[in-house]
């Protein structure tokens, strides 16, 4: 069992501190965050599959692959430090080293992350000055400030925590994330930093995180673009003294809670999509294989024609069926049925049962579901997406200004 904590954040887990400040990378908003654990953490991570990877991604990914234990994460927003070559990597390493020195730990214990405009040199002097300022500000209530400091085009901060009841007592999973545009699963689609005070061995923490990412962050799409800087990390410092072991009921309970918080974050990212006015859950039913189910969900979630129809409250089921047929999945067109929430739209053999007025009412809601039954197997899958509005174009037309 688990329950969400009011105003939960990454520092809701015991032994974690955080802070978020303005250091001058962005024009006005906070742009530097630091998360720190008093105890050393086992860490798991998933990273972008984009072949163009930002410098901090290359550094942090290697640390996770090597099973490195860590104590901190340094994150800047407003500058992606991507497509900056060897100079960009050295800039990331220099900020990592300086941050470690200020914290009194090893550089290999500091993960680094960046988000923002691609192709611009990281203003190292501003980050260094920011580190001088932020380290003394670390505190147990700084999670919300850190959440604010990592956002870019997001309209809101994104922060959660859950308390999980295990056999030996309670543990907490907390987290912050950012994401609004360039959201398309090929890993995790944004920046996510999770903490827990449970004891989790390095051998199982990666497996836990990867499994939950697959059914949350890897099932959302805002615009079909995978960023150069995407990453999700989970740090476990064991401050609760309670261990999560594989093959136990505690493991299952912890995994259920972790999946829930990941899904909550993923859905909030979609609902906060650039220019989004609607959150849409796409339920693919009775596919021949699990892969087919995901392919169909992905195709519908990414379709500009579907997403613009949703924005216009147009019950254009033909675009949904067309996306399914173009997905690469094994589908039998005559078998497909479509409904919005519980309202039937299309039955087998292309029998149209659309009630335009009722469909318009559903499509006017801020949140609803599109259900597409392939009637070709038993596998199911859920994706989340949002609509495309004129505002999305405006935001991305002048992003650098």
Which positions are catalytic? 189
What is the token pair recorded at 96? Answer: 């990592």
Q: Measured between alpha carbons, how far apart are the two ends of the chain, in Å?
A: 46
Question: What would the 3-class secondary structure string for 358-395 be?
Answer: HHHHHHCCCEEEEEEECCCCCEEEEEEEECCCHHHHHH
What is the token pair recorded at 304? Answer: 């500009």
Q: How far apart are CA 198 and CA 13, in angstroms?
A: 9
Q: What are phi and psi of 92, to 5 degrees?
A: -65, -40
Q: In the 8-state DSSP scheme, what is residue 304?
A: H
- Diameter of the chain measured on Cα atoms: 69
What lies within 8 Å, CB to CB, of 26 at 6+ separation is: 77, 78, 116
Buried b / exposed e across 204-229, counting CB within 10 Å, b at 16+? bbbebbbebbbebbbbbbbbbebbbb
Q: Which helix (H) or strand (E) holds 36?
A: strand 32-47
The upper half-sphere exposure of residue 6, i.e. CA atoms within 13 Å in the direction of its Cβ, equals 0
Strand, coil or helix: 50: coil
What is the token pair recorded at 98? Answer: 């300086």
What is the token pair recorded at 224? Answer: 């079909």
What is the token pair recorded at 235? Answer: 């740090």
């Amino acid at each position: 069992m688990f329950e969400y904590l009011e105003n939960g954040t990454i520092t809701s887990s015991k032994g974690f501190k955080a802070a978020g400040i303005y250091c001058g990378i962005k024009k006005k908003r906070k742009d530097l965050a630091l998360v720190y654990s008093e105890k050393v953490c086992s860490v798991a991570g998933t990273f972008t599959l984009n072949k163009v990877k930002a410098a901090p991604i290359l550094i942090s990914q290697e640390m996770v692959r090597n099973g490195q234990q860590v104590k901190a994460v340094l994150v800047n927003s407003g500058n992606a430090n991507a497509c900056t070559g060897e100079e960009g990597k050295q800039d990331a390493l220099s900020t990592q080293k300086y941050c470690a020195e200020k914290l009194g730990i090893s550089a290999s214990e500091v993960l680094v992350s960046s988000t923002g405009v691609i192709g611009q040199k990281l203003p190292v002097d501003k980050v260094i000055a920011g580190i001088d300022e932020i380290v003394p500000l670390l505190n147990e209530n700084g999670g919300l400030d850190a959440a604010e400091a990592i956002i870019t085009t997001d309209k809101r901060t994104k922060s959660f925590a859950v308390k999980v009841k295990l056999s030996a007592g309670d543990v907490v999973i907390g987290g912050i994330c950012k994401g609004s545009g360039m959201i398309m699963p090929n890993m995790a689609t944004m920046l996510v930093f999770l903490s827990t005070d449970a004891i989790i061995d390095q051998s199982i923490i990666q497996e836990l995180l990867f499994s939950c990412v697959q059914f949350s962050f890897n099932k959302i799409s805002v615009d079909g673009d995978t960023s150069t800087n995407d990453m999700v990390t989970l740090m476990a410092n064991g401050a609760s003294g309670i261990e999560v072991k594989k093959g136990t009921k505690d493991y299952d309970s912890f995994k259920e809670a972790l999946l829930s918080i990941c899904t909550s974050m993923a859905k909030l990212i979609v609902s906060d999509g650039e220019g989004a006015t609607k959150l849409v859950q796409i339920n693919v039913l009775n596919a021949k294989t699990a892969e087919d189910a995901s392919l169909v969900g992905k195709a519908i979630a990414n379709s500009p024609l579907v997403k613009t129809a949703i924005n216009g409250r147009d019950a254009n089921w033909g675009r949904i069926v067309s996306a399914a047929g173009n997905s690469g999945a094994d589908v039998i067109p005559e078998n497909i049925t479509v409904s919005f929430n519980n309202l039937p739209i299309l039955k087998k053999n292309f029998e149209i049962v659309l009630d335009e007025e009722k469909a318009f009412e559903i499509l006017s809601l801020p949140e609803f579901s599109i259900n597409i039954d392939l009637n070709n197997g038993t596998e199911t899958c859920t994706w989340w997406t949002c609509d495309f509005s004129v505002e999305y174009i405006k935001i991305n037309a002048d992003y650098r200004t």
